[in-house]
Every structure is written in C-alpha cells, then in structure tokens.
Structure 1
Amino acid sequence: MTEYRQIVRKWVKPEDLNQHGALFGGRLLQWVDEEAAILAVAQLGTTSLVTRYISEINFSARADRGDLLELDFRVQAFGRTSLTLTCRVENAVTGQEILTLDRIVFVAVDDNGQAVPHGRTEATAGTERLRQR
C-alpha cells in the first residue's frame, strides 16, 4: 500500500484553554476525531462510518494559547469494513510532540449501525470517492 498522509493545522485560541491556561485535552481530541473522520470519509467514499477505536491517549507536552499545532495523519491499513489511521500532533514551531495515537479505527456502517464492507484497499489523495457513490 502506498503511504498516504495528511497534515491539518490548528491554532490554539483562548476558547480552547483549560483552567490552567493550556490547551484543553478534550478539545485536542475533538479536533483529532473530527479531522480523522473527514479523512476516513474521503478514503472510504462514504459518510456512513463511526469511530470504533482510539488507542491509548498519552499527552506528552502541553500546548498554550497562540501555539500552532500540526495534526499529522497517516493511513495505516484498510480492513474489510474498517480503516486504521495514526496521528501525531506536534507544535509546528518547536517540533515538540504533544500527542501520538497509534491507532484510530473507523468502520463503515449501514443504516442499522452494522459493519459493512467498504471495498477499498488503497489510499487516495482526493475526494473523488465521495462522488462515485
């Protein structure tokens, strides 16, 4: 499989901070899940998918107001009904790692929430699969 990666940048704003003046961990996880889902939708060609699994979460450094973060996603594997991604979040200015997730698994589902085969085996750089439905 050809490696595919996508980098998304997020600016830490005052509304993203916790009571200690650092980026609220839940906000970062929200960003990761949302951006990973967008990537999964483009890869699988369907909006009918769910986040099934996120690996252990370990915040290795804090991010502060004004920091520019890079969320670096990579397609790790296609399963019959699933897509597995990885994500590394780092401070774009310092290069310091903020968070790494070894596995984020999305599963294509039907109207009843049951897993269904998606038929994809290779990554794509665009959104053309959404238009092929």
Structure 2
Amino acid sequence: MNFHTRKWIKPEDLNPNGTLFGGRLLEWIDEEAALYAIIQLENPRTVTKYMSEINFRSSAKKGDIIEIGLVPTKYGNSSLTLACEVRNKMTREVIITIDTIIMVSLGENGKPKAHGKTKIEFVKDRFNDD
C-alpha cells in the first residue's frame, strides 16, 4: 500500500463526539482516489463508480495526523479498481479500510472510454529524457 496524502485533523473535521466525521474522511478518500485514477489513466474525466463496504476500525481525534493509502488491484477496459487504507501516521493504527473503489474513465460524451492501461505508470517515465 502506498500512502500518498496526509491530513491533519482540525476542529472543523470533527463530529459531535469529538472524533473525525466519517463523511469528511470519505470525501478525502474519494478525492484521493480520483486524483490517483486521473493521473494513472491520463483522463481528467474519471469518476467514482463504486465503493464497497466501508469498514471503520478506529477513530481519529483533533490533532491526529492520518495518511491515505491506495493500491491498484485491477485494470479493466475503462476502469481502475483500487483498495484503500487510512491509518494514523504516528501510531500506525488502521482507521478505515475499503476493499474496492472502482474509478471509470469517461469520454467527452460521458460514456465509459477504454484507457488502454494495464499496469501502474509513473509520470516521470512518460517523458522522454533525451
């Protein structure tokens, strides 16, 4: 699992119980998955199609630093499937897991578009270093 983004839990991120609001965390995960898929599929018209069961395993509180991890598990014709784990950066305690997030590449017509990708690519490798 590669952890790409860190978030610092601030007062505006908390629910009435004083812990991280689940909806805020899901917003961050959805954004991170979209950014990851857009970069991998080289298509800014990439959208979330599906999220599997979301397993809240622990919580975070004000002042905690969390990190969002994603790993691609499957490349479809027009989709990229990811798995996600969020953990506390300092304690490594897992906060949430999502086994399946499916992101779909769309064409200008809003319909799924084949992306032709089969493996992880790094942006630096797309440029010719002549």
For 1:118, the equivalent position in structure 2 comes to: 115
Amino acid at match of 2:86: V
CA distance in 2, matches of 1:6, 1:109: 26
Distance 1:39 1:28, change over 3 A: same
> Which runs of structure 1 show a deviation greater than 3 angstroms over 4 or more consecutive aligned residues?
none
Q: Which residue of 2 aligns with 1:99?
A: 96
Residues 23 and 127 (structure 1), Cα distance of their counterparts in 2 relative to 1, 3 Å cut: farther
- Would you say the 8 A contact 1:43–1:127 is kept in 2? no
What does residue 60 of structure 1 align with? Answer: 57
Matched, 1:75 2:53: no
Provide the residue aligned with 1:7 in structure 2. 4
The question of whether the paired residues in 2 share the 8 Å contact of 1:90 and 1:96 is answered with: yes
Tell me how far apart the structure 2 counterparts of residues 69 and 63 of structure 1 sit (CA, whole Å).
Answer: 8
Q: Unpaired segments of 5 or more residues in structure 2?
A: none
SS across alignment from 2:55: coil
Percent identity reads 46
Count of aligned pairs between the two proteins: 126
CA RMSD across the alignment: 1.5
What amino acid maps onto 2:68 in structure 1? L
Shift of 1:59: 0.7
The separation in 2 between residues aligned to 1:81 and 1:75, in whole angstroms, is 14
Q: Is the 8 A contact 2:7 2:67 kept in 1?
A: yes
* Amino acid of the structure 2 residue aligned with 1:32: I
TM-score (norm 1): 0.89
| Per-residue deviation, 1:66 | 0.5
CA contact (8 A) 1:42 1:127 kept: no
Q: Which residue of 2 aligns with 1:44?
A: 41
Q: Which has the higher contact order (CA 8 A, sep 6+)?
A: 1
What letter matches 1:17 in structure 2? L
Per the TM alignment, residue 19 of structure 1 is displaced from its structure 2 partner at its CA by: 0.9
Match of 1:17 in 2: 14
